[in-house]
């Protein structure tokens, strides 16, 4: 009688861990998207967020990126650095969530926070993508 081979639980565990790691880092289905948000005079928008809304498939997650003080951002889907699924999107720019009123006016025209009125359409392609957005202040604010 020939002895049967000893099972190797370590090999299966390593394979499972490797697959889980690949699934967690975005894999080949996500592409990096970075950019900058500026006002029409070229000065940076110093806070808030950029998000993409799928134009063709509402089941696709909406990526988001937080605007840094220099106006730059990097979009992500599940975790920072993972990227965006290729496809067509409408972009929106939302200001920081502050209490707006007469003493603290909204820093960005509200039309840019709605995918129906922002005017920003963008196609994410495999590989690197740059999305530079120009916004205006609300009417009457300089």
What are 40's two structure tokens? 């029409």
Q: How far apart are CA 59 and CA 77, in angstroms?
A: 13
CA angle 106, 112, 113 (to 5 degrees): 75
Q: Report the predicted TM-score, pTM, of the whole model to 2 decimal places.
A: 0.75
Number of domains in the chain: 1
Distance from chain centroid for Cα 93 = 11
Q: Give me the domain span that covers residue 73.
A: 30-135
Q: Give residue-wise pLDDT tens across range 21-37.
A: 344 444 558 999 999 99
122 token code pair: 């963008």
Domain for residue 64, yes or no? Answer: yes
* Rounded-to-integer distance, Cα 122 and Cα 3, Å: 62
Q: Is residue 40 part of a domain?
A: yes
> For the segment 37-63, what is each residue's pLDDT rounded down to a tens digit?
999 999 999 999 999 999 988 888 899
Answer whether residue 121 is part of any domain. Answer: yes
Q: Considering the domain boundaries, does residue 112 fall inside one?
A: yes
CATH of the domain at 80: 2.60.40.1120
Is residue 66, in this structure, part of any structural domain at all? Answer: yes
Residue 7 is assigned to a structural domain of this protein = no
């Amino acid at each position: 009688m020939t002895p049967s081979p000893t099972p190797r639980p370590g090999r299966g565990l390593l394979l499972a861990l490797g697959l889980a790691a690949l699934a967690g880092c975005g894999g080949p289905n996500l592409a990096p998207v970075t950019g900058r948000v500026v006002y029409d005079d070229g000065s940076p928008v110093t806070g808030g967020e950029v998000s993409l809304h799928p134009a063709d498939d509402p089941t696709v997650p909406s990526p988001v990126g937080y605007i840094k003080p220099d106006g730059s951002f990097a979009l992500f889907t599940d975790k920072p650095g993972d990227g965006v699924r290729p496809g067509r999107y409408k972009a929106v720019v939302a200001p920081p969530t502050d209490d707006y009123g007469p003493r603290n006016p909204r820093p960005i025209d509200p039309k840019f926070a709605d995918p129906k009125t922002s005017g920003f359409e963008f196609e994410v392609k495999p590989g690197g993508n740059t999305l530079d957005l120009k916004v205006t202040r609300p009417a009457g604010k300089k």
